[in-house]
Structure 1
Amino acid sequence: MPNANNWQGDVLRDLRGTPPQQHATSHGPAQEQHPAQQQQQPQRQRQEPVGTEAQPPSRKAAASPGPAAPPPRTHRPARSPDSRPVVDSALTGTARSPRRGESAAARIARAVRRIVSSSTAREVAELTRTAEQIQQPVTTGRQIAVTSIRGGAGKTTVAALLGTAYAHYRHDPVLLVEADPALGSLPLRLGAESLRWTTADLADIVEPQMSLLDVTGYLVQLPDNAWLLPGSQGRIGAMLDTAAYERVMVALRRYFGVTVVDCETLPAEVARVALSAAQARVLAVPATLDGITSTYAVLQWMQGLPRHMIAGTVVALTSTTPRPGIDVEAAAEKLRSTGAAVHVLPHDRHLAAGGELRTELLARPTRLAAARLAAEVFQLSQKRR
Structure 2
Amino acid sequence: MPNTDNWQGDVLRDLRGAAAPTGRGGTGPAPGSGTPASGPGLSPPPPPDAARAVAPPEHPGGQGREQPAASPSTPAGRPPRAAPDSRPVTDDGLAGAVRTPRHGEPFASRAVRGLRRIVSSSAAREVAEITRTAERLQQPVTTGRQIAVTSIRGGAGKSTVAALLGTTYAHYRQDPVLLVEADPALGSLPLRLGAQSLRWTTGDMAGIVEPQMSLLDVTGYLVQLPGKAWLLPGSQGRIGAMLDTRAYERVMVSLRRYFGVTVVDCETLPAEVARVALSASQARVLTAPATLEGITSTHNVLEWIQALPRHVIEGTVVVLTEQTPRPGIDLDKAARKLASTGASVQVLPFDRHLAAGGAIRTELLAHATRQAVTRLAADVFELSQKRR
Kindly indicate whether residue 377 of structure 2 is the aligned counterpart of residue 374 of structure 1: yes
CA contact (8 A) 2:322 2:350 kept: yes
Aligned match of 2:61: 66
How has the CA–CA distance of structure 1 residues 294 and 82 changed in structure 2, closer, same or farther, with 3 Å as cutoff? same
Aligned match of 2:47: none
How has the CA–CA distance of structure 1 residues 321 and 95 changed in structure 2, closer, same or farther, with 3 Å as cutoff? same
Aligned match of 1:243: 246
Amino acid at match of 2:347: V
CA contact (8 A) 1:318 1:345 kept: yes
Summarize deviations over 1:298-351 as a string: whole Å, max 9, x none.
112222221101000001111000011011122112212221111111100000
Distance 2:91 2:367 in 1: 32
Aligned to 1:361, which of 361, 364, 376? 364
Distance 2:110 2:366 in 1: 8
Distance 2:366 2:228 in 1: 24
Aligned match of 2:387: 384
The alpha carbon displacement at 1:122 in A equals 2.2
CA contact (8 A) 2:68 2:80 kept: no
CA contact (8 A) 2:335 2:345 kept: yes
Bigger shift: 109-118 or 273-282?
Answer: 109-118
The alpha carbon displacement at 1:91 in A equals 1.1
Distance 1:33 1:256 in 2: 24
Aligned match of 2:31: 34
Q: 1:77-96 maps to which residues of 2 (within 5 A)?
A: 77-96=80-99
Distance 2:30 2:134 in 1: 31
Aligned match of 1:137: 140
Amino acid at match of 1:290: E
Summarize deviations over 1:195-216 as a string: whole Å, max 9, x none.
0000000100110111111110
CA contact (8 A) 2:149 2:158 kept: yes
How has the CA–CA distance of structure 1 residues 367 and 119 changed in structure 2, closer, same or farther, with 3 Å as cutoff? same
CA contact (8 A) 2:41 2:229 kept: no
Aligned match of 1:316: 319
How has the CA–CA distance of structure 1 residues 273 and 281 changed in structure 2, closer, same or farther, with 3 Å as cutoff? same
Distance 2:277 2:250 in 1: 12
Summarize deviations over 1:77-110 as a string: whole Å, max 9, x none.
4232100000112211111110000010111121
Aligned-residue Cα RMSD (Å) equals: 2.4
CA contact (8 A) 1:31 1:57 kept: no
Aligned match of 2:103: 100
Aligned to 2:201, which of 194, 198, 215? 198
CA contact (8 A) 2:144 2:260 kept: yes
How has the CA–CA distance of structure 1 residues 306 and 88 changed in structure 2, closer, same or farther, with 3 Å as cutoff? same
Kindly indicate whether residue 100 of structure 2 is the aligned counterpart of residue 109 of structure 1: no
How has the CA–CA distance of structure 1 residues 335 and 204 changed in structure 2, closer, same or farther, with 3 Å as cutoff? same
The alpha carbon displacement at 1:160 in A equals 0.2
How has the CA–CA distance of structure 1 residues 339 and 257 changed in structure 2, closer, same or farther, with 3 Å as cutoff? same
Distance 2:235 2:34 in 1: 21
Normalized against structure 1, the TM-score is what?
0.84
CA contact (8 A) 1:77 1:204 kept: no
CA contact (8 A) 1:27 1:62 kept: no
| Paired residue secondary structure (1:270) | helix
Q: 1:107-186 maps to which residues of 2 (within 5 A)?
A: 107-186=110-189
How has the CA–CA distance of structure 1 residues 339 and 60 changed in structure 2, closer, same or farther, with 3 Å as cutoff? same
Kindly indicate whether residue 287 of structure 2 is the aligned counterpart of residue 284 of structure 1: yes
Aligned match of 1:14: none
The alpha carbon displacement at 1:33 in A equals 4.9
How has the CA–CA distance of structure 1 residues 82 and 199 changed in structure 2, closer, same or farther, with 3 Å as cutoff? same
CA contact (8 A) 2:60 2:220 kept: no
Aligned to 1:188, which of 188, 191, 199? 191
Kindly indicate whether residue 208 of structure 2 is the aligned counterpart of residue 227 of structure 1: no
CA contact (8 A) 1:287 1:317 kept: yes
| Paired residue secondary structure (1:66) | coil
Distance 2:261 2:165 in 1: 10
The alpha carbon displacement at 1:127 in A equals 1.2
CA contact (8 A) 1:319 1:345 kept: yes
Aligned match of 2:216: 213
| Paired residue secondary structure (2:236) | coil
